Amino acid sequence: MTRGGSLGMSMKKIFQKYNKFSEYLLYLLVLILPFQTRWIIKPAQLNGGYFEYETISLYVVDVLLILLTGMIIYSRFFLDKKIKKTKSNLLWLLIGGIEMMVFISLLLSSNFIFSLFIYARFLLALSLFWILSNFEYVRKKLLIILIISMTVQSILGIFQFQSGISPACTYTGMASHTSEDPGASVVEVEGKRFLRAYGSFDHPNIFGGFLTLGLLIIFLHLLQRNKPKTNQLATLFKKLLPENNQKTTSYIICYMLRVTCYVLCVTALFFTFSRASWIAFASGLLTILFLSIIRRDLKIQKIILQNILIVGIIFYSLFIPYQDLVITRFSQAERIEIKSTDERMNHFAEAKTVIKNNWLFGVGIGNYSNYISEEIDNKKEVWQYQPVHNVFMLIWAEIGLIGLIFFIGILQVIFSHIIKKRKKKNSLSVYKLGILVALLVLMMFDHWLWSLHFGVFWFWFVLGLL
């Protein structure tokens, strides 16, 4: 072999190791994404109290994503390995449009420094979407990491509900919560308080949204998986087991692990007592079932009905001992539920006022609560200054009508891309509509997918997988 040929082979190995390192960095990012480990650079104050929504923090996830983005950009323009284009030009034009409107709103914000920080976070989230859309990685490995992450969070969430305590941990970014804390998210029945499952998140609704979309992503992957012989987890067990009956035993163990993880995640979803998450999860499953009926796909109908049956059994088994808590969440009989409903209605009224006065360009990205305090009502308690519980209204209020149109356009392009697959008889991509429907439900009932660090990253992560 010539010297030039040897050098070429050596460089190829270097490129392969470089891209392999980038790939595993992506898996690590997915693993730690739910943890809120951060350095609080500038804590925010509003009306004399600590205000989370305007606190400037640097998260470990941010550092990893900056590093990963830099490495993949270098690979894209200098090594040109393991990069592919998968998303349409129209989609990227719309993403560019919403980015432009975010930047314009930043210039109009009364809290420029914080809005600049939120703009940087938005760009980082877009980079995660770009990586998932363009960088080659082993999807099965990424989903296995996601399952591990969800299972760890589920075990933590079940412990929190059963014990009534969520211990603080600096290394995972967890704050302390107990069922007796005045500001904790609880379900109250006849004066008795039950702590809802938080996981490592800031609120049970975020935990519920994470589990809802994660479960649907994993479920769709199982629908599209290859023949059992390609199952990597089963292959690992085959190597660890005796030669006799290796294949049967390894797949039984693999199946039992998968079922265990599924049961834990669904149980934790129940203990979040997040109504929006329950409705979103049910909507996603029913959308997949409806599509399978339309497509006359008996195999998928059988699998989805089995799944619905399993979820139904788990929820019913938990409903029996905790039926008072579930009924309370859907009724207006208890003080906390009445208070929650009244607050949401007040937030909607405030949002209408903000939109009416700033309908074209908005008040500035991340500046919603600050605007409420400065222009509408500056006498409320700090915890009462929350974004409106609807992503679409919040986007309109912060970056204006044009920004909202770009945002809806992004969802429409992804919807159209998925729906085009319906004509392909053997394609299962159309069932991704179940995830999109669940995502829309969550956005209709809450704000965290736009307003909070994890929510922004999780939103673009999910879109990147569609």
pLDDT in the model for residue 152:
94
Ranked by mean pLDDT, the top range of 2-16, 17-31, 412-426 is: 17-31
- Two tokens, residue 450: 């736009």
- For residues 195-205, give the mean pLDDT: 93
Q: How many helices (H) and strands (E) does the chain have?
A: 16, 8
pLDDT in the model for residue 424:
63
pLDDT in the model for residue 88:
64
Residues 379 and 463: their CA atoms lie apart, in Å, by 39
Distance (Å) of CA 454 to CA 44, 192, 208 = 18, 31, 13
pLDDT in the model for residue 23:
87
Of 20-34, 222-236, 359-373, 434-448, the one with minimum mean pLDDT is: 222-236
The residue with greater pLDDT, 134 or 75, is 134
pLDDT in the model for residue 320:
94
The residue with greater pLDDT, 79 or 296, is 296
Residues 380 and 28: their CA atoms lie apart, in Å, by 41
- For residues 42-56, give the mean pLDDT: 83
254-313 residue pLDDT tens: 777 778 888 999 999 999 999 999 999 999 999 999 988 988 888 888 888 988 998 999
- Two tokens, residue 310: 């399993």
- The answer to whether residues 459 and 124 touch, using CB atoms and an 8 Å cutoff, is no
Residues 34 and 177: their CA atoms lie apart, in Å, by 17
Nearest of 366, 365, 263 to residue 317 by alpha carbon: 263
Residues 382 and 378: their CA atoms lie apart, in Å, by 10
Sequence-distant contacts of 162-169: CB under 8 A, at least 24 apart: 164/193, 164/194, 164/195, 165/195, 166/195, 166/198
- For residues 118-145, give the mean pLDDT: 90
DSSP symbols for 100-131:
HHHHHHHHH-SSHHHHHHHHHHHHHHHHHHHH
pLDDT in the model for residue 229:
44
pLDDT in the model for residue 402:
95
DSSP 11: H
Exposed / middle / buried, residue 332 (Cβ in 10 Å: 0-12, 13-18, 19+)? exposed
Q: Residues 242-254, buried b or exposed e (16+ Cβ, 10 A)?
A: eeeeeeebbbebb
210-264 residue pLDDT tens: 999 999 998 887 776 544 444 555 554 444 444 545 455 656 667 777 788 889 9
Roughly what angle, to the nearest 10 degrees, separates helices 204-224 and 246-272? Answer: 150
- Two tokens, residue 169: 């941990």
The residue with greater pLDDT, 76 or 195, is 195
319 Cβ neighbours under 8 A, 6+ residues apart: 326
Residues 210 and 35: their CA atoms lie apart, in Å, by 12
- Two tokens, residue 42: 């500038």
273 — alpha (psi -120 to 50), left (phi > 0) or beta? left
Classified as helix, coil or strand, 304 is helix
Give the residue ranges of DSSP H helices in 295-432: 298-329, 335-357, 368-371, 391-419
- Two tokens, residue 417: 């891309």
pLDDT of 123 strictly over 60: yes
- Two tokens, residue 399: 């970056």
When the pLDDT of each residue in the chain is averaged and rounded to a whole number, the result is: 84
338-353 residue pLDDT tens: 777 778 888 888 899 9
Beta-bridged to residue 187, according to DSSP, are: 194
pLDDT in the model for residue 384:
79
Band (153; pLDDT cuts 50, 70, 90): very high
Nearest of 197, 195, 168, 172 to residue 183 by alpha carbon: 195
The percentage of the chain sitting over the pLDDT mark of 90, rounded to a whole number, equals 47
397 Cβ neighbours under 8 A, 6+ residues apart: 351, 354, 355, 358, 362, 363, 368, 388
Beta-bridged to residue 193, according to DSSP, are: 188
Beta-bridged to residue 177, according to DSSP, are: 166
Exposed / middle / buried, residue 215 (Cβ in 10 Å: 0-12, 13-18, 19+)? buried
pLDDT in the model for residue 235:
52
185 Cβ neighbours under 8 A, 6+ residues apart: 177, 195, 196, 198, 203, 204, 205
- The answer to whether residues 154 and 264 touch, using CB atoms and an 8 Å cutoff, is yes
Longest dimension (CA), the chain: 83
Of 53-67, 75-89, 136-150, 182-196, the one with minimum mean pLDDT is: 75-89
CA angle 316, 322, 323 (to 5 degrees): 70
350-387 residue pLDDT tens: 899 999 999 999 999 999 988 888 888 777 777 778 89
Classified as helix, coil or strand, 167 is coil
Residues 399 and 395: their CA atoms lie apart, in Å, by 6
- Two tokens, residue 275: 């109504």
pLDDT in the model for residue 257:
79
